[in-house]
Amino acid sequence: ETRFHAMSSLPSARWSLIARPALSLIHRRCFRAPTKALNHCVEVVRQQDRERFLCNTFAAHEARPALFALHAFNIETANIRSTTSTVEIGRMRLMWWRQAIEQGRAGKPPDHPVAQALAQAQAQHSLSFRFLEQLLDAREADLETKQPADYRQLLSYCERTAGALQLLGLECAGVVDNEQAELAALHVGCALGLATLLRGTAYHASKGCTYVPVDVASRHSVNLSQVLRGESSPELRDAVVELATEAVSHLLAARSLQPTLPEAACSSLLPATVASLILERLQKAGYAPFEA
C-alpha cells in the first residue's frame, strides 16, 4: 500500500481557489497579481493537469494561488518541446521564462498571467530561485534528448522537474529548513516523475523519443524501433517493471518519513497518491505501457 491519503469531494466555489492571502502573510513590498491572472492559472491547471488540480484543492487556502501559479508555469515550460519547431526556438522561449522570473523577483513581471501569478508567489512565499532554475535547466536539456543515456540521467530529470515542484510546494506550505520534509518531497517527485513518464510512453513514441533509458533498455534487450512504432513486447514490459519498481521504492521511502513530518508537509505530499494510482493502472495493464 503506497497511497498517502484518499481523495474526497472537491470544494465547489471556484473563487475560493484563488482568494488572496491575509495581509499578514505578505512580507516585504511584493507584486500583487490581478485576480484574472490567478484565475487563468487555475483554469490552465484544471484543463491540462487535472490530477494536480485536484491535489491543489486540498492544499491550505493561503498556499493555493502559489501552487496553481507554479503548476501553470510547469505546464507552460513542459509544453515548449512539443510546440516548437526547432531546439533553438525552444531555448529562446525558455530564456524568456528565465527573464520573466528575474523580472518577477524584482516585482516587475512581464504582462503574462502566469508570469504575474508566479511573481506574486515568489514574493509571498520567498520561493527558492534555484528550484525554478533547475526546472528550466531540465527543460532545456530535454529539448534535444531522444532517450536518457542511463537511469541516473532519467532520475536527475525527475528530481529537477517533479522534485523541484514538490520542494517549491513545501515552501508554499511554509515548510522550510526541514531536511526530512525535503527528502520526502524529493522521493515523491521522483516517484511522480517516473510514473508520469511511463504513462506517457505512447505519446513520447509518437514524437520520436522514449524515456526508457539506454542502460535499462539494453539490460532487457528492448528494440527501440519497436518502441517508437508503438509496439509492445515482453522486453519492453520487463523494462517498465524495473522503472515502476524504482518509482514504488521512492513512494515507500517517502511514506517511511511521513510520521516525522509536520502536518503542513504531509498535505503538500498528496501528489504521492497520483503516482500510486498511475502505477496501479500500469500494473493492471500488465506493465504494457501502450495499453495502460
The 3-state secondary structure of 38-64, one letter per residue: HHHHHHHHHHHCHHHHHHHHCCCHHHH
The pLDDT of residue 28 is above 60: no
Q: Is 222 exposed, middle or buried, given 0-12, 13-18 or 19+ CB atoms closer than 10 A? A: buried
Does residue 17 have a pLDDT over 50?
no
pLDDT at position 283, please? 98
**Residues above pLDDT 90, as percent of the chain:** 89
pLDDT confidence tier of residue 29, bands split at 50, 70 and 90: low
What is the percent of the chain where pLDDT is above 70? 90
CA 96 to chain centre: 20
Q: Is the Cβ–Cβ distance between 238 and 212 less than 8 Å? A: no
- On the question of pLDDT at 97 being above 60, the answer is yes
Average pLDDT, the chain: 91
Residue 18 has pLDDT above 80, yes or no: no
pLDDT band at 277 (very low <50, low <70, confident <90, very high): very high
CATH 1.10.600.10, domain 32-144, yes or no: yes
**Any idea what DSSP says for residue 126?**
T
pLDDT for position 30? 74
- Give residue-wise pLDDT tens across range 79-96: 999 999 999 999 999 999
Q: How far apart are CA 236 and CA 76, in angstroms?
A: 31
Query: pLDDT of 140-194, one tens digit each?
Result: 999 999 999 999 999 999 999 999 999 999 999 999 999 999 999 999 999 999 9
Given a contact cutoff of 8 angstroms between Cβ atoms, the answer to whether 171 and 217 are in contact is: no
* Angstrom distances, CA of residue 234 to CA of 31, 240, 245, 260, 286: 54, 10, 16, 41, 10
Residue 10: enclosing H or E segment and its boundaries?
Answer: none
Q: What is the mean pLDDT of residues 51-73?
A: 96
d(CA 144, CA 147): 9
32-144 and 145-292 share one CATH topology?
Answer: yes
Question: Where exactly are the structural domains of the chain?
Answer: 32-144, 145-292
C-alpha cell at 276: 500510486
Q: What is the mean pLDDT of residues 23-52?
A: 83
pLDDT of residue 26: 40
Q: Is 40 a residue whose pLDDT tops 50?
A: yes
For the stretch 121-142, pLDDT in tens is 999 999 999 999 999 999 999 9
- Which has the minimum average pLDDT: 16-30, 64-78, 219-233, 240-254? 16-30
Q: In the numeric block, which cell numbers belong to residue 189?
A: 517527485
145-292: CATH topology is Farnesyl Diphosphate Synthase (1.10.600)
Mean pLDDT score, 205-225: 97
